[in-house]
């Protein structure tokens, strides 16, 4: 094997990143080296690229970017048991400590000492990448490599929709960014009866219909709560999946649910947010659930099973594919918002 590879490296603590040649990394006894077949851009990669406050607080350049990936195992550490050379794999992003209260009670996805792939250690925007055995996910080889790479955000969407018990229910999804778009498909696959999507970007509103939305509105132009009233009547929706982090979407998303309903919050608001707990949560006896990560690995089993059996259609959400070296084009698309998931091919 050659010992150099190309990778996208966050080289300095400033805007941007570079495509350059670096050493192929070596693995430890509980690590796996993969040849990357497909990798995809997450919103957090864009934040690292732009060098926003969160990135400044969490990243120490130089570091290889990226965490959504699919590839082939080409080498395994001496103690690795989960996978073997030749397996087709993806990877969880959260690297749990294994020993905190959360890890000890089946909640590794919210480990108190969590490290994150591509944030606290080198990522996967490269020809080769190192995965941790605790994170590696053996993927059915029949699954398309690009879908395999976006299993990770698919897992976010699954964990956002599952608490909503959406089968036969009325659903509001606020925000149709890449994960929001996938959540539409998930809600549809899980039997939601009627899905309203709220999204300001026209490109993504159009994509929402392709992912399975029944109704799509632009919250800049129409009053979201009036749209809910028009479609679902005085009852409101049974469940809101909040995927935008926008303060108005969060507030209206909570107001839109019927008493006794459920709200999943995945989108991350930048700042603190003022809420009318008394009227919107307490008197309505609703349940608000914060969502982060993916259950390890019950969520991955669901994702893999849906893809393997072609019970979810992610094709429309993959709007762009490009060589790894063209990543700057991908970052520009992320900035404009005129995209779903963007696949980078090493």
Q: Rule CB under 8 A: which residues touch its own copies?
A: 81-82, 98-99, 101-102, 104-107, 109-110, 112, 158, 162, 167-170, 189-194, 214, 234-235, 245, 250, 258-260, 265-266, 268-270, 272-278, 281-293, 295, 297-298, 301-303, 305-306, 308-309, 311
Q: Which is nearer to its own copies, 13 or 106 (CB)?
A: 106
State the nearest-atom distance from the C-beta of 7 to its own copies, in Å: 28
Q: Which is nearer to its own copies, 95 or 266 (CB)?
A: 266
Distance, CA of 154 to CA of 55 (rounded, Å): 23
Bridge pairing between strands 4-10 and 63-64? antiparallel
Are the CB atoms for 63 and 9 separated by under 8 Å?
Answer: yes
Q: Which is nearer to its own copies, 302 or 317 (CB)?
A: 302
Distance, CA of 137 to CA of 249 (rounded, Å): 34
Q: Which is nearer to its own copies, 64 or 303 (CB)?
A: 303
Give 25: exposed, middle or buried? Use CB within 10 Å, 0-12, 13-18, 19+: middle
State the nearest-atom distance from the C-beta of 219 to its own copies, in Å: 19
State the nearest-atom distance from the C-beta of 158 to its own copies, in Å: 7
State the nearest-atom distance from the C-beta of 322 to its own copies, in Å: 30
Distance, CA of 135 to CA of 92 (rounded, Å): 5
Distance, CA of 149 to CA of 88 (rounded, Å): 11
CA atoms within 13 A on the CB side of 127: 14
State the nearest-atom distance from the C-beta of 1 to its own copies, in Å: 27
Q: Which of 246, 305, 34 is nearest to 254 (CA)?
A: 246
Distance, CA of 194 to CA of 176 (rounded, Å): 16
Q: Which is nearer to its own copies, 169 or 341 (CB)?
A: 169
State the nearest-atom distance from the C-beta of 97 to its own copies, in Å: 9
Q: Which is nearer to its own copies, 24 or 185 (CB)?
A: 185
């Amino acid at each position: 094997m050659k010992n150099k590879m190309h990778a996208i490296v966050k080289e300095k603590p400033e805007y941007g990143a570079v495509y350059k040649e670096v050493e192929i990394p070596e693995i430890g006894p509980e690590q796996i080296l993969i040849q990357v077949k497909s990798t995809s851009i997450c919103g957090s990669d864009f934040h690292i690229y732009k060098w926003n406050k969160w990135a400044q607080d969490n990243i120490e350049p130089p570091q290889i970017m990226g965490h959504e990936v699919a590839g082939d195992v080409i080498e395994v550490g001496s103690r690795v048991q989960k996978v073997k050379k030749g397996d087709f794999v993806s990877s969880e992003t959260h690297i749990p400590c294994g020993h905190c209260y959360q890890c000890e009670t089946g909640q590794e996805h919210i480990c108190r000492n969590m490290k994150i792939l591509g944030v606290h250690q080198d990522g996967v925007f490269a020809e080769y990448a190192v995965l941790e055995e605790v994170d590696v996910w053996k993927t059915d080889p029949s699954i398309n490599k690009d879908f395999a790479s976006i299993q990770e955000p698919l897992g976010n969407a699954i964990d956002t929709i599952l608490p909503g018990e959406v089968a036969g229910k009325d659903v509001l999804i606020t925000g149709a960014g890449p994960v929001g778009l996938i959540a539409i498909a998930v809600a549809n696959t899980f039997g939601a009866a009627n899905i309203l999507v709220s999204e300001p970007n026209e490109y993504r509103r159009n994509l929402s219909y392709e992912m399975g939305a029944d109704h799509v509105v632009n919250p800049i132009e129409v009053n979201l709560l009036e749209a809910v009233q028009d479609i679902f009547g005085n009852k409101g929706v049974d469940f809101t999946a909040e995927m935008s982090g926008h303060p108005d979407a969060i507030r209206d998303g909570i107001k839109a649910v019927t008493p006794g309903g459920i709200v999943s919050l995945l989108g991350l608001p930048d700042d603190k947010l003022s809420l009318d707990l008394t009227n919107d949560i307490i008197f309505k006896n609703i349940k608000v659930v914060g969502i982060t990560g993916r259950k390890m690995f019950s969520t991955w089993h669901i994702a893999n099973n849906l893809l393997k059996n072609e019970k979810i259609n992610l094709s429309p959400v993959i709007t762009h594919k490009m060589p790894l070296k063209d990543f700057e084009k991908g970052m520009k698309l992320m900035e404009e918002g005129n995209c779903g998931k963007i696949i980078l091919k090493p």
